[in-house]
Structure 1
Amino acid sequence: MESLVRSLRNLGLAAPNGEQITSLVDADPQVEKRLAQQLAVPAQIDLMDSEDASAAMVDAALLTGATEAMLANYNRTLQQQIEALKEEFVKTKSPKPIKRIPLKALLSQQEALIRRRTDERLSSKSQSGSAYTPRQILDTDSVHCSTTAVSELQRMDFDELLAPKRFEGRYLVVRVVSRLSLYASCSFVGEIIPSGAPIPISIAYFTPNLNLYGEELDAMLPVGTYLLIREPYISTNYLGFGGPITGAKGTVGIRVDTPSDVIILDEDDALLADLCPDGSCNNSLSTLAQFAGWRQEGPLSRAIQRFLNQNDQDSCVPPVTATLASTRDIIRRFLRQERPGAAWREWLSAEKLGLWKTEMDSSAVADDLMLKVDVLVELSAFAEADTVLETVPLEERDRAWTCRKAEVSEALDVNLQGPSEGLLQRIFQTTFTDPSPRFSLGEFLGPIAVQQIPNAGRGLVLTRDVDQGELLLCCRALGSTYSTDKECDGVPLLRVNIDSGVTSTTTQVLAATRCIYKILDRPELATAILGLTAGPDIPNSKYVAKPYPLKTLPLSGDAAIQSGLHPPDVDALYVNGVLRFNAFGPAATPAAATGNDPMSRSTMPHPLPAILNHACLPNVSSVFFGDLVTTRALHPLPAGTQIMHQYVQGELPYDSRQSLLSKHGFQCGCGLCELDERDGASARHQRESLLATSLPPLVDRSQALLQNMQLAAIDAHQDMVAALLELISNLGATYNPARNSLRPDLADIFLRASKHAEVYEKDAALRLARAGAEATGAVLSANSITRLPDLHWDGAIQCLLMLAKLHQEDQAQEMSWIQAAIDTHHSMIGGGTVLFLQRYSPELYPVLHRLADTTAIPV
């Protein structure tokens, strides 16, 4: 990708956009040709504007030809790298000794990598004013994750290395001797201890911040840091997994596939003492003030962890000298790095050492308590944070305390009863101004329990009867990632799995990285994330057999401190599988303004909501508000009911739904699928054909008429209704005669026909609007709704608002239909009348002006 982008920019062309990036891996020559033309178009337009038209045409043709050649070269290089990775897997059966490369040569190679990253960033800025550096990486199912404790491994040295080979039961100790280079994986040069032999190393999933560079990146693993790598894999192309596409060119080195295989060593670690009895392994980074910014615990935590690991006397503490200032700085640094677990362990370690009691000034005490609150809030421990806030001295409760108290109280309210209508309204509004909204709120768990469901794994069932519209869940994502996050903004990333052919985009890759570090930082989250299944082709993790937690609370006391000593083994392949089969991928928020860019989708790992099983005809509605998801009952449901939401929309054709669901390894047999099956394959295909060929031109004609209502003759509307009714009749013939009124494909067509019929016959418009609502599964009485829609809720709401509009001469009937629309909206989303009016504004639906006036709600 970097070579392709560089070549395009040398021709004065822009780098490919998101849609074009996803087309790059399409092997169809026509797709490649079309892509070349798209990439060359801007420059061709400039050429055509020149005075010499004939010369411009020649130049434009040459430009397109050059772009096609670049794409062909790109695809050739990509295929070479894919074949090299596949060949490497075959060669693992007969590995060969590796040659020692001089340190000077490896350092020179590493500096060249760093320069390329710098040039890439600078050249992209010079063209557009802001960095835009698309990247592509490969991955494979043949990845490694060590599950063996260091105590059960034996050390090895350079002269024992073979490539390609994974050394089970062994470990290497290396010292960082170069600066870092970040593509998607992070690379550097290390020296193997004790021989001092240099070797290049890459670590996949090193950071979710693809924009990290320079001193800030180098601080993650400064020169001099000692690392222990468990069961290392020696690759013939150490950058082939997470590095730039270079064809078959590769360098032998250590390829770390998951960060949990790496342990940072202190200078007083027993392993280093054995390796360097003369004290030559002097790690200056293990002082109280200095430490690696990647994966290393705080200095107090490390001291207490080692002490607790060697002593059972809880009352004793090691002799550690530390300052409050450095401890505060370290805790704040952990919070900036999204490592609240490490911050909490450092806080608890300082508390165990009595460090917080060394200053008695009330202002300093208040500052320290507020810092503790910050840590607890990041851990979502809102009840504990509230308790700490109450201990802040009265004379120190300033504006910051008041604001924090209000935030914590609101989060606790959500814990108890879910978000209020006012809070949901504010959250909804935030999505229009914030392209990557995240909300620090508590989670609400309604009357639900996790149970084993016959032939469906685990699911969520109700523990009591619930009413329609009742909130059942309100959960935050763990490791949420938006394409507009500053960590990946301007760095679209495409990953291709060479074994399965599955492609993943930026947010999927970085959400996996975030989840890995969430587990490493807070081991108590392992069951919530790794307790989910990773698809039919990956064996279940050990956590799947454990009881699934409804809620995960932070650890406390010595157990919390010790949890950082031996974090879980996190298999990156398994985490990616969990996200592929369980994470939600809602569309970009309104504020993101990303259009149809396929790279713009966010990735939202919601562990507990992921337990919900699928039904195309659901009984609950799950709706996203940024990184929050709320789940509400669509109908009254009795205790013991399994609540089920949609993985794919029920409005999609039956065969499309089943195809999309096939990756989950099951065929849906919900009520809607049963109805569609009874219609028969031939009838379903005929229905799809009618919707694809006959409906679009009718919609175009209808739009033109509705936009010029004043000018269109009545007979034009009558003709439009007749055409739409003919289509409805033809579609109706594709349904089984015994089928009920649930026919979601017809809802919008009925509504459109009603809008035209309103021009000349009110009764006909009323019948059509009612038919549209009933096609969504709604049951209507004379003046209201007696059963809410089963699906296509927005379409049903528009039909109900049409009925209200048609009854404007009778205010009571009008308001009755509006209330039916509000009730439907509440069961889907919640948020009360205000949120309803935010989504269905009186400007778009004038019939709602009276509602806005009577409720004194500004519009």
Structure 2
Amino acid sequence: MAQKSNILINTYEQGPDKEQAVHKLSNSLAGELPTRNHDTEDLLKQHYQNIHHIEDCEKDTKTTWAKQIVIPIAYAPCVTPLDQLNQISLSDLKVETHHRGSFITATTITLPYNFSSTVTIIQEVSTVTAVLVLGFQDDTISPLPQNSTVAIKEPYVQLNENSDYVIRVDHPSDIAVLRGDDPAVSMIMQFVAEKKDIKPVEWRSEGDRAFLEGKYSSAIECYTQAIDASLPLEETIFTQDAYRKRAFANLLAHRYQAAKVDSLSACSGTALDAKAYFTAGRACYSLRSYSESKSYLEKSLELEPTDIKARKELNRILIRLDEQENGNYDFAQMIREQESKIWLDHADFTANVEVGMTEKSGRGLFTTKDIAAGEILMSEKAFCLPDKYTGDGPSDTVLFNLNNNSRTPKAAQPALFRKLVQELYHNPQLCKDFFDLDGGEYVRNGKEGDIIDGVPIVDAFLVECIRLKNCFSAPRLSRNLLKRDCPEVETHLTTATWLRASYTNHSCVPNCGRAFIGDMMIVRALHALPKGTEITHQYIAPDASTLFRRKGFPTNWGFECACRLCSGERESPDTIHTKRTDLAKKIKKEALKMAPTSKIPIANIRTVERMMRKLEDLHERSVYANLPRLTLVHPSIWLMEVYRFSKNYTKMVRYAIEVLKNFGFGDNIVDIDNNNFSMKWEGGIVNTEAFNSLVIAAEGYDMLGKSVLAEGCRAAAKRMFLVLAGSEVGIERFLPA
């Protein structure tokens, strides 16, 4: 029995209904000073009560507690450097105001807690206190240790039912934190606040200390001060050493572009350059600039030919270059890797596609050469993928977006949102490509990704708009979904973003198919594609009801589907569409009375068959001669399974072929007289159900002694498997000879 899921809240989490009500009240008081009923002691008491409440709930193993993340009404991030803003006091803050052109500083006086948001109490020198709420922070770290100094740019004040008001920060670039648990903080504070003269060697020593304690951001700051304070005579030795150390600190802090620049700045024309080139090569590898990485590793090996680590790195780069340039992947190794980790070490292969303009759908992806059926169009590593694979059970996180009144119950989607914000903030080099994606009608400021005060401008609300339009649901291994009795855990999905794949437009009858192995997406052609062909895939599996699809695509993605199926079905009157949908529901209701794997009276089977023939008659030949008939698919599958269970192989094969016909693979798939099996791939929909129908048809033809037709089915199934699984690895388990 599934555990009950309760919403866990604390006094700073109001929920979507209260959030909307409080926002309405805030707007009515916009520009006014908030009434402060709570003093510091009250705030501290409430804060630690929340901590204890959350701890108690986490100890309750009988209940699944769901976090509720509320995305408030959107507002723009600050794009002004701190030194161009005017400092104000906490006592100057006004309700529902973003205080443009201003900033505040304060100190955190409590331990924070991370739940749906990160919450702490801040106090300025005047002893005025306030609640600080950081939205959408990383759950795995504590970004605001006690006694940290914070500078908040253009602070946004929001009413709160229990604390009168909170200062809310939704954009990570709007706050700077000098961590209170950092070994170099005291020195930095002395330098900034007390104007103390600190020698370069002291800065370097403190940087070494911070580095050893894993405080890489602090180490980088100390090494920077050491470099800036060094004298010209020291530059040839001291400064280059500081550059080398800062390069490695940047590398471990995942600041790869900075690590590369520092490594090259450390070069002096001596043997020590081998380490600098090695670090530059590793940084470029992490930036996925494999050719550049290769050049630096080769330079490192020229200086130190016996360096085993450098040789190993170079060999790894050569494998990535072969993947990137030729699309040569060891899929068996890739599948083995995903068993222990989902973030795989492989290069993208995108040489067969390019971004271009379509006639009506904006940008799209087009083939750069003639592509054969089954050939790889592209293989791409996820830009961002959370390790959250879930089914349809209770979720541990619910995301509410007040900007579109949406509710997202799948845990992977809020996890992806938060991870995207953090990835972009910590890796500025990623911002350009991500923010180039479609964000709908969201109004941009034009400075997304610009570096201000040393960090990129990350608009969290724009990130969510882009996520909504450019994310994919993905299993850990697509091959598993082809199992007839697939364990539920293997069907669980996460949600992730792939940049190049995001430019692919939708079609209900696409010309390519995608498969997933860990965080790698493999896209293959379903049939031959001439150079310059726009590639299309399904955003979601098309619903059988064209009227439902007609409403769904504008609502979810902002477009009307004009694929050959949707365009063709517009030739049929809505009244006929409604009749087909209603009859399909009646057939489903009748079939659900009896599982196809049970002994079913022949009279009940005949009833379903008669209803199916009526449904067939409702499909006009003039409209559906060359189109899939999706309302007929599931009745065909049910009858195929019923006759398979009863070992009526003739009927089993008949309905297996009906499934393929209804998916659009042509009316003349089997030529009994000439013992020939052929499918019209250009009009068909390739999916798990079609694959299983081919497997069952092959099984039936074998039992009927028609080996040539059985081999034809198997050949078609192999072609589908390649697309649906991404490779042929393991096909023998799904399609025995």
Match of 1:236 among 152, 159, 164: 159
Q: Name the CA distance, whole Å, in 2 between partners of 1:116 and 1:285.
A: 44
Asked if residue 835 in structure 1 is aligned to residue 730 in structure 2, the reply is yes
Letter in 1 for 2:362: G
Equivalent of residue 145 in structure 1, options 59, 64, 77: 77
* Matches of 1:138 and 1:479, distance apart in 2: 21
Count of aligned pairs: 701
Q: How has the CA–CA distance of structure 1 residues 379 and 565 changed in structure 2, closer, same or farther, with 3 Å as cutoff?
A: farther
CA contact (8 A) 1:446 1:471 kept: no
Q: CA RMSD in A?
A: 4.7
CA gap of 1:733–1:110, structure 2 versus 1, over 3 A, is same
Closer/same/farther in 2, CA of residues 837 and 596 from structure 1, 3 Å limit = closer
**1:327 shift after superposition:** 6.2
State the one-letter code of the partner of 1:740: A
Offset at residue 75 of structure 1 (A): 13
2:446: which partner in 1? Answer: 542
Contact 1:156-1:171 at 8 Å conserved across structures: yes
- Residues in 2 aligned to 1:818 and 1:731: alpha-carbon distance in whole angstroms: 30
Alignment-derived partner of residue 354 in structure 2? 449
Asked if structure 2 preserves the Cα contact closer than 8 Å seen for 1:459 and 1:642, the reply is yes
The structural deviation recorded for 1:726 is: 1.5
Structure 2: distance between partners of 1:597 and 1:800: 22
What is the aligned partner in structure 2 of residue 737 from structure 1? 621
Which amino acid letter does the alignment assign opposite residue 26 of structure 2?
A: E
Match for residue 210 of structure 2 among 275, 290, 299: 290
Distance 2:630 2:155 in 1: 55
- Are residue 516 (structure 1) and residue 516 (structure 2) matched? no
Aligned partner (choices 659, 665, 673) of residue 778 of structure 1: 665
Q: Provide the residue aligned with 2:148 in structure 1.
A: 225
Q: State whether structure 2 residue 709 is matched by structure 1 residue 798.
A: no
- Alpha-carbon distance in structure 2 between the residues aligned to 1:105 and 1:320: 51
> Do the aligned partners of 2:243 and 2:265 also contact (CA within 8 Å) in 1?
no
Aligned match of 2:548 in 656, 668, 674? 656
Structure 1 residues 805 and 113 mapped into 2: Cα distance closer, same or farther (>3 Å)? closer
Please state how far the C-alpha of 1:409 moved relative to its aligned partner. 4.0
Q: 1:799 to 1:463 in 2, by over 3 A?
A: same
2:503 to 600, 607, 611: 611
1:117 aligns with 2:117: no
Determine the C-alpha separation between the residues in 1 that align with 2:203 and 2:37. 27
Q: 2:512 aligns with which of 620, 624, 641?
A: 620
Q: Is this contact kept in 1: 2:264–2:280, CA < 8 A? A: no
Opposite residue 686 of structure 1, the aligned amino acid is K
Task: For 2:13 and 2:166, locate their aligned partners in 1 and report how far apart those are by CA, in whole Å.
Answer: 25
| Counterpart position of 1:473 | 378
1-structure distance, mates of 2:29, 2:416: 32
Structure 2 residue 715 is matched with structure 1 residue 807: no
Q: Identify if the C-alpha distance between structure 1 residues 188 and 756 changes in structure 2 by more than 3 Å, giving closer, same or farther.
A: closer
1:396-795 equivalence runs, <5 A? 396-397=307-308, 402=312, 407-418=316-327, 420=329, 423-428=330-335, 433=339, 437-483=342-388, 492-505=396-409, 506-536=411-441, 538-540=442-444, 542=446, 566-586=454-474, 595=488, 601-661=493-553, 662-698=555-591, 701=594, 703-705=596-598, 719=603, 722-738=606-622, 739-741=624-626, 742-750=628-636, 752-753=638-639, 766-779=653-666, 780=669, 782=671, 783-788=676-681, 790-795=684-689
Q: Partners in 2 of 1:693 and 1:811 — Cα distance?
A: 38
Are the counterparts in 2 of residues 110 and 181 from structure 1 also a CA contact under 8 Å? no
Per the TM alignment, residue 651 of structure 1 is displaced from its structure 2 partner at its CA by 4.4
Q: What is the identity, as a one-letter code, of the residue corresponding to 1:494?
A: V
Could you tell me which amino acid in structure 2 is paired with residue 183 of structure 1? F
Shift in CA distance, 575/801, structure 1 to aligned 2, threshold 3 Å: same
Distance (Å, rounded) in 1 between the aligned partners of 2:405 and 2:691: 41
Question: Secondary structure at 2:168's aligned position in 1?
Answer: strand
Deviation at 1:445, TM superposition (A): 0.1
8 Å CA contact retained: 1:267, 1:286: no
Alignment pair present for 1:156 and 2:88: yes
Residues 119 and 318 of structure 1, relative CA distance in 2, 3 Å threshold: farther
Shift of 1:567: 2.7
Change (3 A) 1:769 1:353: closer
Contact 1:187 1:202 in 2 (8 A): yes
Contact 1:172 1:228 in 2 (8 A): yes
Contact kept, 8 Å, 1:172 with 1:230, in 2: the verdict is yes
- For 1:674, give the aligned amino acid: S
Offset at residue 578 of structure 1 (A): 0.8
1:5 aligns with none
Deviation at 1:113, TM superposition (A): 3.5
**8 A contact 2:89–2:104 mirrored in 1:** yes
- Which amino acid is 1:234 matched to? V
| Shift, 1:290, TM fit | 3.1
Q: Equivalent residue of 2:138, what SS? A: coil
Alignment counterpart, residue 136 of structure 1, candidates 68, 72, 90: 68
Q: Do the aligned partners of 1:648 and 1:660 also contact (CA within 8 Å) in 2?
A: no
Distance 2:487 2:647 in 1: 41
Report 1:353-372 matches (<5 A). 353=266
**Once the 2 structures are TM-superposed, how far is the Cα of residue 645 of structure 1 from its aligned partner?**
1.2
Give, as a single letter, the amino acid of the residue that structure 1 aligns with 2:408. Answer: S
CA deviation map 1:18-63 (0-9, x unaligned): xx76xx99xxxxxxxxxxxxxxxxxxxxxxxxxxxxxxxxxxxxxx
Contact 1:302–1:565 under 8 Å retained in 2: no
Mind listing any 5+ residue stretches in structure 2 that lack a counterpart?
Answer: 179-183
Q: 8 Å contact 2:474–2:516 — kept in the other structure?
A: yes
Cα contact 1:445–1:473 (8 A) shared by 2: yes
- Cα deviation digits, residues 678-732 of structure 1 (max 9, x gap): 2322222222222222234336546245xx6xxx8xxx56x56644431321111
Query: What per-residue deviation string (whole Å, max 9, x for no partner) do you get for residues 120-155 of structure 1?
Result: 33x23xx46xx9542223232244411222243222
* Residues 757-806 of structure 1: CA deviation (Å, up to 9, x unaligned): 68798666555443332222224363232532621433333333344334
Range moving further from structure 2, 97-106 or 768-777: 97-106
Distance 1:606 1:326, change over 3 A: same
The verdict on how the C-alpha distance between 1:224 and 1:100 changes in structure 2, with shifts beyond 3 A counting, is farther
Q: 1:145-180 CA deviation, whole Å, 9 max, x = no partner? A: 112222432222334332342110111223333322
Q: Which amino acid aligns with 1:479?
A: C
- Alpha carbons of structure 1 residues 139 and 566: separation in structure 2 relative to 1, 3 Å: same
Change (3 A) 1:76 1:160: closer
CA contact (8 A) 2:386 2:416 kept: yes
Identical aligned residues as a percent: 16
Counterpart contact for 2:515–2:521, Cα < 8 Å: yes
Correspondence list, 1:248-267, <5 A: 248-264=161-177
What's 2:29 paired with? 91
Calculate the TM-score normalised by the size of structure 2.
Answer: 0.81
**Amino acid in the other structure paired with 1:614:** H
- Spell out, residue by residue over 1:231-254, the C-alpha distance to the aligned partner (whole angstroms, 9 max, x if none): 1112333xxxxxxxxxx2224332
Cα shift readout 1:155-210 (whole Å, capped 9, x = no counterpart):
223343323421101112233333222122212233336x454433222222142x
CA contact (8 A) 1:233 1:254 kept: yes
Residue in structure 2 matching 1:205, options 136, 146, 159: 136
SS of the residue corresponding to residue 571 of structure 2 reads helix
8 Å CA contact 2:660–2:693 kept in 1: the answer is yes
What runs of 5+ residues in structure 1 fail to find an aligned partner?
Answer: 1-12, 26-72, 238-247, 335-339, 547-561, 842-847, 851-859
